Amino acid sequence: MEKILEVKNLKTYYSTDNGTARAVDGVSFSLGRNRTLGIVGESGCGKSVTALSIMRLVPMPPGYFAGGEIFWKGSDLLKISEDEMRKLRGNEIAMIFQEPMSSLNPVYTCGNQIVEQILLHQDLSGKEAKGLAVEMLRHVGIPNPSERFEAYPHELSGGMRQRVMIAMALSCNPALLIADEPTTALDVTVQAQILELIGKLQADTGMSVILITHDFGVIAELCEDVLVMYASKVVEEGRVSQIFSDPLHPYTKGLLKSIPRIGSKQQRLNVIEGNVPSATRLPDGCRFANRCPLADELCRKVEPQLEEYNPGHKAACWKIHA
């Protein structure tokens, strides 16, 4: 499988009044061409900061890269100039954010914002860029795209705004689309439409997708590969079929057990007791040890590393098959 993105031992930290927050602490993974990778985990586990690190959108200060490499088609994104990164961002690598109202400029029409993106990266006239923008709005399922081109963000529904964001992200035909919880603020019907749209657009264009979510249902529907993150680290990775049929890490098992099931007579949902450790006070051993029913003294003192237990299926735990 040809790799277009390879992240190696990425460390993205923040300087805070309470000390150094290790938001992403040694994350490694790769992504193949025309593959969909899901990154799943609780809020605050480092999913979004991983995406912002790839895009080089981490605010500096207080953020900084403490180590690691991000290879895009052979070049380390952490070492290229800001001008070079600006040419890639939005062109070869695009991103959809979870709240379109905070990503779209309220004083410009939706169409003009797409045109601006096109003119920045493509050698087209203003008229050609407008024609492409209208076509992209039609492509993402917005009715009357010529009229919607002139609409301001506040005049559209949440689902329509998210479609505008997708149209903008895809306007330059990127090789990689990063979708950071793209359906979080939408109702379930619109969520299904947006997820179906992303899947269809990937099939049409052959782009690779990183989908960030806390919803295993979304992972099951769209993704082929999965990273499970906890407290700034990857604790398990594998193909979707492996994660759902044979989860290895106690945290992954806990997340899957907490999903409500239709027809279940169970009165209460399963929960994972305890709290996620603070990014400024991460423990020496396994970061899940304070919540894990299997943890012992080894778990609390020595941090486990990702090991492969089945082809393509890795986990970081001392208690697997114990």
The reported pLDDT for the residue numbered 169 is: 87
Q: 125-163 pLDDT, tens per residue?
A: 989 999 999 998 988 888 999 999 999 999 998 888 888
Sheet holding 93-96, edge to edge: 93-96, 176-180, 208-213, 36-40, 225-230, 233-239, 313-315, 307-310
Tell me the Cα Rg of the chain. Answer: 21
Residues 29 and 154 in one domain: no
Residues 192 and 155 in one domain: no
Residues 135 and 149 in one domain: yes
Residues 8 and 88 in one domain: yes
Residues 118 and 181 in one domain: no
Percent above pLDDT 90 for the chain: 58
Q: Single out the residue in 126, 148, 173 at which a domain terminates.
A: 173
Residues 208 and 119 in one domain: no
Residues 245 and 187 in one domain: yes
36-40 vs 75-76, strand pairing mode: unpaired
Residues 37 and 181 in one domain: yes
The reported pLDDT for the residue numbered 267 is: 67
| Average per-residue pLDDT for the chain | 89
Which carries the bigger pLDDT value, residue 106 or residue 265? 106
Mean pLDDT of 230-256: 94
Residues 70 and 87 in one domain: yes
The reported pLDDT for the residue numbered 187 is: 77
Alpha helices in the chain (DSSP H): 47-55, 82-88, 100-103, 110-121, 126-139, 145-148, 158-170, 188-205, 216-222, 240-245, 250-257, 297-301
In the predicted structure, residue 117 carries a pLDDT above the cut 80: yes
Q: 45-71 pLDDT, tens per residue?
A: 999 999 999 999 999 989 999 999 999
87-101, 106-120, 128-142, 295-309: range with lowest mean pLDDT: 87-101
Determine the residue type at 48.
S
Instruction: Please check whether residue 263 lies inside any domain of the structure.
Output: no
Q: Residues 59, 14: contact at Cβ < 8 Å?
A: no
Helices and strands of the chain, counted as H and E runs: 12, 12
Token couple for 286: 């396994």
Residues 208 and 230 in one domain: yes
Domain that holds residue 138: 106-173
What CATH number is associated with residue 230? Answer: 3.40.50.300
Number of domains in the chain: 2
**Residue in 12, 29, 22, 34 with CA at minimum distance from that of residue 71:** 29
The reported pLDDT for the residue numbered 201 is: 83
